[in-house]
Structure 1
Amino acid sequence: MAKDVIKKAKNGTYYFRANLGYHSVTGKQIQKYCSGFKTKKEAREEYSRLLLTKSEDSVESAGKLPFKQFIEDIFLPWYKTRVKERTYDNRLPTVKRHLSYFYDFLITEITPLHVQKWQLFLSKKGYAPSYIRIVQGLFSLSMDRAVVLGLVESNPSKIVGNVKKTKTKIDFWTKEEFEKVLSFFYKEDYYQHFLFMSLWLLFMTGMRIGEATAIQWEDIDFETGMLSIDKTLYYKNLDDYTFVEPKTKASVRHIVLDEDTLTLLHQWKDVQQAVIQTNFVMSYNGVPTQKHTLAHVITRFAKKAGVHRIRLHALRHSHASLLISMGENPLIIKDRLGHEDIETTLGTYGHLYPNSNFEVAHKLKGILSFQTATENKDTSPKNQFTAQYLRKDLETNNAITMQ
Structure 2
Amino acid sequence: MPTYKDEKTGSWYCKFYYTDWTGKKKQKLKRGFKLQRDAKDWERLFLEQFANAPDITFRTLCQKYKNFKENRVRPSTLQSQLNTIELHMLPYFDRKVIAEITPADIVDWQNHLLKKGFTAAYTRQINATLGMLFKFAVDYLGLARNPVKSKICKPAPKKVDFWTPEEYKCFSDAIRDNIELFTAFEILFYTGMRKGELLALTPGDIDFQEKKITINKTLAYVDGKYTIQPPKTPKSNRIIDIPQFLLDEIKDYMAKIYGMDPDDRLFSRSRVWLGEALTRVCKKIDLRPIRVHDLRHSHASLLINLGANPLMIAERLGHDDVKMTMNTYSHLFQSHREEIIEKLEKIKF
Residues 299 and 309, structure 1, Cα contact 8 Å, conserved in 2: yes
The reply on whether 1:322 has 2:302 as its aligned counterpart is yes
Partner Cα distance (2:79, 2:224) in 1:
16
2:70 aligned residue (64, 75, 80): 80
Cα 1:251/1:144, change in 2 over 3 Å: closer
**1:258 matched to which residue of 2?**
243
Cα 1:82/1:218, change in 2 over 3 Å: closer
**2:255 matched to which residue of 1?**
270
Structure 2 unpaired stretches of 5+: 1-43
Task: Name the stretch that deviates more: 110-119 or 172-181.
Answer: 110-119
After superposition, the C-alpha distances for 1:82-105 in whole angstroms (9 at most, x for unaligned) are 423232123221221111342356
The reply on whether 1:122 has 2:126 as its aligned counterpart is no
Residues 227 and 256, structure 1, Cα contact 8 Å, conserved in 2: yes
The reply on whether 1:299 has 2:279 as its aligned counterpart is yes
1:175 aligned residue (159, 165, 168): 165
Structure 1 or 2, whichever has the larger Rg, is 1
Task: Name the stretch that deviates more: 196-205 or 352-361.
Answer: 352-361
After superposition, the C-alpha distances for 1:139-191 in whole angstroms (9 at most, x for unaligned) are 01212233346575432212x3343234421222221222222232252xxxx
Partner Cα distance (2:130, 2:225) in 1:
33
**1:9 matched to which residue of 2?**
none
Structure 1 unpaired stretches of 5+: 1-20, 30-60, 370-403
After superposition, the C-alpha distances for 1:35-54 in whole angstroms (9 at most, x for unaligned) are xxxxxxxxxxxxxxxxxxxx
Cα 1:27/1:102, change in 2 over 3 Å: farther
Partner Cα distance (2:94, 2:79) in 1:
24
After superposition, the C-alpha distances for 1:364-392 in whole angstroms (9 at most, x for unaligned) are 559889xxxxxxxxxxxxxxxxxxxxxxx
**2:5 matched to which residue of 1?**
none
Q: Could you tell me which amino acid in structure 1 is paired with residue 86 of structure 2?
A: K
**RMSD across aligned C-alpha pairs, in angstroms?**
3.0
Q: Could you tell me which amino acid in structure 2 is paired with residue 208 of structure 1?
A: R
* 1:45-56 paired onto structure 2 within 5 Å: none
Partner Cα distance (1:176, 1:122) in 2:
42
2:79 aligned residue (83, 86, 89): 89
Task: Name the stretch that deviates more: 117-126 or 198-207.
Answer: 117-126
Residues 214 and 240, structure 2, Cα contact 8 Å, conserved in 1: yes
Q: Could you tell me which amino acid in structure 1 is paired with residue 113 of structure 2?
A: L
Of structures 1 and 2, the one with the larger relative CO (CA 8 A, separation 6+) is 2
Partner Cα distance (1:114, 1:129) in 2:
21
Q: CA deviation at 1:341?
A: 2.3
